[in-house]
Amino acid sequence: METQLDPMKDDLPLMANTSHMLVKHYVLDLDVDFKSQVIEGFIVLFLETGSRYRRASSTGEEGCQSQFDETCKIRAWEQGHVPVSNASVCSSKTEYNDFAVCGKGEEDTSDKNGNHSNEEQASGISSSKNCCDIENHGNEDFLLVLDCCDLSVLKVEEVDVAAVSGIEKFTRSAKLTDVSKELANLRNQIVHELVTLPSDRCKEQLYYYTCCSQAPGCGELLFTTGTWSLEIRKSGIQTPTDFPHAIRIRYKTKPEGRSVTWTTDQSGRPCVYTMGSPINNRALFPCQEPPIALSTWQASVRTAASFVVLMSGENSAEPVQLQEGIMSWYYYVTMPMPASTFTIAVGCWQEVKQSFTPAVQTNNEFSLPCSQADFRWHEESCGHVEYPCRFQSPAARLQRVIPYRVFAPWCLMKCCEEHLLQLIPQCLSAAYTTLGTHPFSRLDVLIVPSNFSSLGMASPHIIFLSQSVLPGGSHLCGTRLCHEIAHAWFGLAIGARDWTEEWISEGFATFLEDVFWARAQQQLSHDEEKAQQELKALLRWRRLRDEVQNSEEELQVLRPNKESTGEVSESGASIVKHGLKAEKIFMQIHYLKGYFLLRSLARRIGGASYLASLRKFVYKFHGQLVLSQDFLSMLLEDVPEQRESGLTVESIFTNWLDTSGIPKLLPDQLVLLLEYLLEEKTLCPRTLQCLEETYQLRDQDAEVRHRWCELVVKHKYVPGYGDVEKFLREDQAMGVYLYGELMVNEDAKQQELAYKCFAAAREQMDVSSAKVVAEMLF
């Protein structure tokens, strides 16, 4: 039985038993119905036995491989529409009008909660209490558990991949000579051969994925839907090895489903899009949501001809007319990624066309200046599972600006043309200059409806931007665009293995946002760039301070699972701590605290060396999932002198990632903070008191105490006058000009303090210093 959690208060459960079975590829075939606000169709899952059970697999493979063992390599293939020729194929009859594509498939037998059953389920055979987890090793049936929420599941069936014309070639492999020709085993072996095809048969692979997805069913499977999961079993099958490796699920979404939003755009036309829900995509399609479940996908979406379908796919889909007024859009992704990154937006979007030649040149002569170390990295093989990787493509490595398109509601097209279109090539070029090869081959940018709750969201090949970034010049639009572009590297190409470590995505994107934007503004001098970034740091510091003061301490921890980070149960299921807390959605702690950690490391190591380390990290870990220690360990390996000075992974965990609040600042950071505060016209006594107590300023080094004394004098903070007197007496080498500040305010108490201190110290002072101070005072 799945754990019952309060969806309004508790953590987010990831229910999928990924250690038992892994989805390697999804095929979605969907109809969009705006009239009923439902997406209906089927999804086919191609599965492999999970890491814990591969040793016992009937394939005879040696060893218990990790979830990352993968020999599947797919290349781009545009022909995604394969005719359906078998009458037994699971398809839907459709009725269409201008705003509706309504799937009429299996009869909806759901109860009021949207749960479905078949005859065997009705007798209680497949209830969760009678099905066991694989751990029991008894005579119970194996359960495939998928993450699922707010879906009406109509039917689950095994797919007869052996019935596909031409599929017999996958049964001739030498691997199959000792395998029983029992049909169920044969089907699983066909799927195994398909998902592990070598790269020189990549087009064939996508073709057969499509053919297999449309093959007839060969037996319904028992299933139970719960609050968070879909549990599937086949009677008499007790192990993942024997469980069907290709299954088709017919389902439909619910209007109230939390993975997509049905709304109207700014021009009043209907649309639907994935808006970055805390529950991710489990209310859009049944899937495996744990990050470890890296998969590829392809999707065909049918809708009325007046609509445009945008999706996370590496091809720029061209619609195919199925019948009058009906179009089908096909997308695919060949880089294995978590299902949570899948994104779709269907609406009456208009493409914003380029009416000028962009200033940024995109030819190959503008390649990234690389160090000798950069060249050595590219000579090494990638560390990820095999896929068509752009980091290994000479042409992609020279592509400064990837192809891009902009879509928006009709009423916002002019605004996008005036501002957004000009910024995209500049920001893409700046990102390339900083980090090198773009991980994805193209980019769509969509201005989403006004109910979008964020300024932006990045997914593979597509970025959503809020209309709020458009007016008022280029600054907000440019910085937000830079932030989302940065997610192509940090958040997508490199993902967090544990979703509680959001800072790996958001902290890096916030830090790189400044770097990209400074370089996108090509006219900035070094001093202007530095001043701009310092100002942003001050503004972020204030936001971070306010958030820390007004939020729960447990939500301020960047690594809430501490030493258990990245761990999952034996089945692969896990919990995302605080994943469903409503207030967490609007918090910026992972952005800001992560940003200041990275900023402190950059200042300590040096900007140029730090960015070189980021490029190295990107090359080493792209296409993989990481934990905080992966980055920190690699960084400290590159700068051993920092380890010798006491900077360790453990100290960073202690000071930054495993504790709430604002970390203890280094002296240079405290100096910078105090200098920022010196620029403020007024600070109340309570703020100054909190500042001293928080950072124990009286116990800091002379540089910090000097700035503290300047603050005391500027804001006439009487409780701090004793600190000023002590500084003038004990730190004469740095206190000369403090006398002048005491005098310039023309405050009687401060002038009296200056006279008193000078009188006490004059006899011991250096002659030149005493002369300068005397001129200030008299």
Enumerate the active-site residues: 484
Cα separation values, 684 from 162, 439, 681, 705, 742, Å: 77, 49, 10, 19, 19
C-alpha triplet 587, 592, 598: angle, nearest 5°: 150
What tokens were used for 464?
């959503």
**75-110 residues labelled b (16+ CB within 10 A) or e (exposed):** eebeebebeeeeeeebbbebebeebbbbbebbeeeb
**616-635 residues labelled b (16+ CB within 10 A) or e (exposed):** bbbbbbbbbbbbbbbbbeeb
Instruction: Kindly report the number of other CB atoms within 10 A of residue 686's CB atom.
Output: 8
DSSP codes joined into one string, 37-88: TEEEEEEEEEEEE-GGGSTT-TT---S---TT------------------TT
* Closest among 32, 39, 41 to 100, alpha carbons compared: 32
The total number of residues written for the chain in this structure: 778
- 48: which strand partners? 22
- The phi, psi pair for 427, rounded to 5°, reads -70, -40
Rounded Cα distance between 468 and 455, Å, is: 7
What tokens were used for 232?
């599937």
Task: Identify the helix (H) or strand (E) that includes residue 604.
Answer: helix 589-605
Rounded Cα distance between 247 and 39, Å, is: 19
DSSP codes joined into one string, 325-341: TEEEEEEEEEEEE-GGG
What tokens were used for 649?
């992974």
